[in-house]
Amino acid sequence: GDSVTQMEGPVTLSEEAFLTINCTYTATGYPSLFWYVQYPGEGLQLLLKATKADDKGSNKGFEATYRKETTSFHLEKGSVQVSDSAVYFCALSGYNQGGKLIFGQGTELSVKP
């Protein structure tokens, strides 16, 4: 079945470090790919998305490229801040999934000053 796999957390970085959170997927059809972020005590909010192969989604300094050949959608940021500390979820959704989101398990990021 369809699934999303993320790198294990927690990830701990110093401020201004480079961030990569790996995400790979298995899916039928041509789903859209998403990164959602959950700040402490809050619900999820969309960080960025890409709807077709080779698309790059970007927002708030984060970016991810939809790589169909490697079935990946890795999240990157060049210089993290303490305020980026949160849990990041990779997800997919498309016609073959009935428009429902399939989530990865989440990766907790902690950024230290």
Verify binding: residue 60, another protein, rule CB under 8 A: no
Is there binding between residue 57 and another protein (CB under 8 A)?
A: no
Among 11, 71, 106, 110, binds another protein (CB under 8 A): 106
Q: Which is nearer to another protein, 41 or 113 (CB)?
A: 41
Q: Which candidate, 76, 78, 55, 67, places its Cα nearest to that of 24?
A: 67
Question: Do the bridges between strand 86-93 and strand 107-112 make them parallel or antiparallel, or are there none, so unpaired?
Answer: antiparallel
Q: Which is nearer to another protein, 84 or 97 (CB)?
A: 97
Binder of another protein out of 86, 94, 109, 111 (CB under 8 A): 94
Q: By CB under 8 A, name the one of 18, 26, 59, 95 that touches another protein.
A: 95
DSSP state of 95: G
- Contacting another protein within 15-34 (CB under 8 A): 31-32, 34
CB of 100 to another protein, least distance (A): 6
Q: How far apart are CA 74 and CA 64, in angstroms?
A: 5
